[in-house]
Structure formats: structure tokens, C-alpha cells
Structure 1
Amino acid sequence: MKPYLAFARATALSALAYRGSFLLSLGGVAFQLIALLAVWRVLLAGGASVGGFDWAHMRGYLLVAFAAGALVGSFVDFRMSSRIRSGLIALDLVKPVDYQRARFWETVGGVWIEIAVVALVAGLAVVFGGLPVTPDGPELALFLCSMALVVPLKFIVSYLTTLACFWTENFVGVLWARQAVTALLSGALVPLAYFPGWLATAATWSPFAGLTSTPALIFIGRVSGREALLLVAVQLGWAVVLWYAARALFRTALRQLTVHGG
């Protein structure tokens, strides 16, 4: 376990060393929160409700969406993609650690800083806008479990797409495509309840819903009891399935690796 904790510490120190870039990336998510709050406040003014969401519920939903979006940024993604494309991954492969686990612990190393930023922004939102709708008792515990599962699930989705660098020459296009798909199907832009029936159902049972929609719906009380427990179980199930799928894909990807040294 010690080697993996060392990876986590190294990432945390890197995030602090390059805090300007790190905070700038989080600033983009914070700006999205401000923009969405402004738009929905106008749409839901005067006690209006759209799709069962009034302003109080939508504000809580967007705060959770911001928190989930701020966790597991692209800091590790770019480092991993750069080392794959440059061939430096060969140095990672000779280390006596599991490659996928090492990348996961690198991701975990930056999470505590992201949590601090989320707490600061959420605190400011409460100061200027008041407390949002919050869950009670068991639902609060399920919400915390769901938010904790966002980290491994979001990591593995990012990790899987970053492995595409074994076949492509550029990571930026892959990153943009992933961000577009996850932002839409996770419910980060609009709740999945606003989608057409078939698409809402498909997105709800996809791994993407666990990135935003599941914790957000539990937080505002739109789902509770068995339904909430089922959604958290689906979230956990996808994290496990995708983890082992990523291991299989990595073995296939290594066949594409060619390193020219001198």
C-alpha cells in the first residue's frame, strides 16, 4: 500500500506546485455553476416548476452537480496521455506496482484539494443564497456513499478514454468527446427527467448517471428508500464492471505500444 500512497502524495504536491493551473481548471466548473444558477433562477422565478423541479430543488441539484464535476479533474488525464504518446509509459511499466491502481491513487491524491475548493464554493453559495433542500437520515448516508463512488467511477471513465491514446495521436479530441458525452448523459447540464422517455431511461441505467444525477437526485429528495439504494447499487456495479473492463483493455492496448529509444 505504501507505494500507492506515495503516488497520492506526489500528485497532491504537484497540484500545490502548479496550483494556478489546478485552480483555473476548477474555476471553469465554478463558472458553469454560476451560469446555470443564473439561467435556472430566471426560468423558475415566481414559484414556477419545470418537470417537478422548483428553484429550491434545482439549486440543490446544481450544487451537487458542481461538486461532482469538480472531483477528479483532468490533471492526471493529461499526464497519463502525455506519457503514453511520448513512450515514457515504458518507465511506468517497469515499476513494481499495478499501473491502473497507481493512476487511481494519483487521482485520489488531488481529491482532497478539490473537496476543499468545493466546500469553499458551497459555503459561499449558502451565505448568499441560503441553505438548499437537504436529505434526512438514511438518504443523507446514501448521498454521501454516492458522492464517494463518484471518485472511482469518474476515474475509471476517464482512464478508459485516456487509453485511446494508444491508438490516437492526440488526446484533446478524445477529451472533448468524453466531456460532451458525460456532461449530457450524466445530467450535469440538465436533469435526466427532461430527456425524452427512452433516452432518460437509458441514461439513468448507464454509468454516466452515477457521475451527477444519482447523488443529486438523492440530495434533493427526488429519490429515496429502495429506489435510492438501487441507484447507488447500480453506481457501484458500474464502477466494478468498468474497473475490470479497463484492465482487459489495457492488456490489449499494450500491444500497440512501440518505444524507440537511443
Structure 2
Amino acid sequence: MIAAEQVRAFRGMTRAGTRSVLAYRGDLVTGAITLVIQVVLAIAVWRTVYAGRAPVNGVDARTAVAYASIAACLQSVLLPWQFSTLPMRIRTGQIATDLTRPLGLMWQVFGQNLGVLLARLPLGLIGLAAAGVLGALVAPSGWAAAVLSAVATVGGALIAMLCNLIVSMVTFWTFEVSGPLIVYRFGSAFLSGSLIPLWFMPGWLRGAVEWLPFQAQVYTPVSIYLGQTRGGEAVALVAVQLGWLVVLTLLLELIWRRARHKVVVQGG
């Protein structure tokens, strides 16, 4: 009975997250237009860069253009300015009410984050449609790549939500998280490979980035889809995603335990 109530509560938080995005239709229209412009510019830039050139690092123009288009669309879905209202609820004190609900706070926030992500999916599809019209998309390198890239996309989405939530938790100590969110968003946009694929980065930088969770958000699913990462290497990247999911979940739990004491000290 309790489990059923918690499932209903989680679904309710997911719906609330979706509605929080769909309620602002002007922002959705602006976001769609911005994404289409971003996709068009990315295609134009990479086609210009490759004009009359041979493949670079084994990557031809068609693959580079497809990567830029898909990565831009993934970024728009996985890296919004902010997934949840947790920072605002902490600042206003509404967090005290959240703590009294039968569904745990982290599950409440995760449900809302999931709703935000689902509501942003149409933006990504609009961007992909624009890329398709411009002839920038390619089919997956095979059925195995299609399935594994789909799994990797889910893993990347979960990692993105966990990272965003961890940054949002800083509000328990600072009451203002705009600065950390700006640093996180721009840093993750670069380190995830959504701006520049990892295969174009210098060896020392790529080696460092591969130790971070960001590349699992965008680079991993797109590189597998395009066949730039194959076989055992592709499976290894998905395994790395699973490892980061465990690490980030444990880190979030540790931060939340400390944050709970912080709430008590401040009087809830």
C-alpha cells in the first residue's frame, strides 16, 4: 500500500515537472528557434571546416556534421539551465514542507527532473528534424550500435540529472546557486563533447576528460550511434556510465545526509 502511494506520488512529481515546462510556451518557442539556429550554424561551420579536406583523425565531413547536429539536440534536452526548483524551495523555506511528505525529497526532485526532461524532448526532436531537412543526419552504423546508443542515451540522461542535482544541493550552504550552475553548464557543455567531439581534442586533454562523468552525457551515446566507438570499446563506455551512476548516487546520498543536518541547524 505504501509502495503504491509512493509510486503515485513519484508520478505526480513527474507530471508537475512536465507542466512546469509546458506552462511557459513562449520559452518553448524561443528554445526551439534557438536550437534550430544552433543546429543550422553548427552544420554550416563544420561543412566549411571540412570543405575540400580529407578525413581528420579518421572522421569524415558527413560524420562530423552529423555529430555536431545530434550533440546540439542532446545538449538542449540534457543540459537545461536548471532541472528542478530545489534551490528556490530551499531559499523560500518550502523545503520544510517537502521533508514532511511520504515520498523522500531526493525522489521528489528526481521525479520533477524527469518530468522536465520529458517535456524538453520535443525541442530535441525539432532540432533533429531541422538537421534532417538539411541532410545532416545519418543512419546508425548497425542495429547493435542503435540499441547500445539508446541505452547510453538513457545513461547519459541519468548522469546529467544527478550532476545537476548535486550542483543544486550547494544551495543548502550558499542559498544562491546561480554561479555554480553557470560554471557547471558551460563546463559540462565543453567537457561532454557537445561542442567539440573528444576525438578532436589533444591527447592530454582527452585523457583527462575521459576520467570525468561529463563525456558520458553526450559523447558516449553519439559516438556509439555514429560507429566511431565500436565493439568492446563501446561496451566499455557504457560500463563507465554505470560506474559513474553508482559513484554519483553515493555522492548525492552523502551530500544529502550532510544537508539534512544543515536544515535542522537552521530550524527547518
TM-score, normalised to structure 2, is 0.89
The count of corresponding residues between Structure 1 and Structure 2 is 260
Native 8 Å contact 1:61 1:219 kept in 2: no
| CA distance 1:178–1:186, shift in 2 (3 Å) | same
Check if 1:17 corresponds to 2:18.
no
Identify which of 42, 51, 58 aligns with 1:45.
Answer: 51
- Give the aligned partner of residue 84 of structure 1: 90
- Compute the displacement of 1:95 (Å): 1.0
Distance 1:19 1:259 in 2: 37
Q: Residues 203 and 66 of structure 1: is their aligned pair in 2 closer, same or farther, counting only changes over 3 Å?
A: same
2:251 to 229, 245, 254: 245
One-letter amino acid of the counterpart of residue 96, structure 2: A
Match of 2:122 among 113, 116, 120: 116
Unaligned segments of structure 1, at least 5 residues: none
**3-state secondary structure, aligned to 1:49:** coil
Aligned-pair distance for 1:63?
2.5
Which shows bigger deviation, 172-181 or 68-77? 68-77
Counterpart contact for 1:81–1:162, Cα < 8 Å: yes
Residue-by-residue CA offset, 1:44-72 (whole Å, 9 max, x unaligned): 11243333322210122112212321224
TM-score, normalised on structure 1? 0.91
The aligned residue for residue 41 of structure 2 is 35
Task: Assess if the C-alpha contact under 8 Å between 2:35 and 2:123 holds in 1.
Answer: no
State whether residues 33 and 63 of structure 1, in contact with CA within 8 Å, keep that contact through their aligned partners in structure 2.
yes
1-structure distance, mates of 2:53, 2:254:
51
| CA-atom RMSD in angstroms | 2.1
Question: Which residue number in structure 2 is paired with residue 132 of structure 1?
Answer: 138
Aligned to 1:146: 152
Q: CA deviation at 1:136?
A: 0.4
Can you give the 5+ residue segments of structure 2 that lack an aligned partner in the other structure?
1-6
- Label 1:23 to 1:254 Cα distance change in 2 as closer, same or farther (>3 A): farther
> Post-superposition shift, 1:117?
2.2
- Match of residue 81 from structure 2: 74
Report sequence identity in percent.
Answer: 30
Report the more deviating stretch, 127-136 or 6-15.
127-136
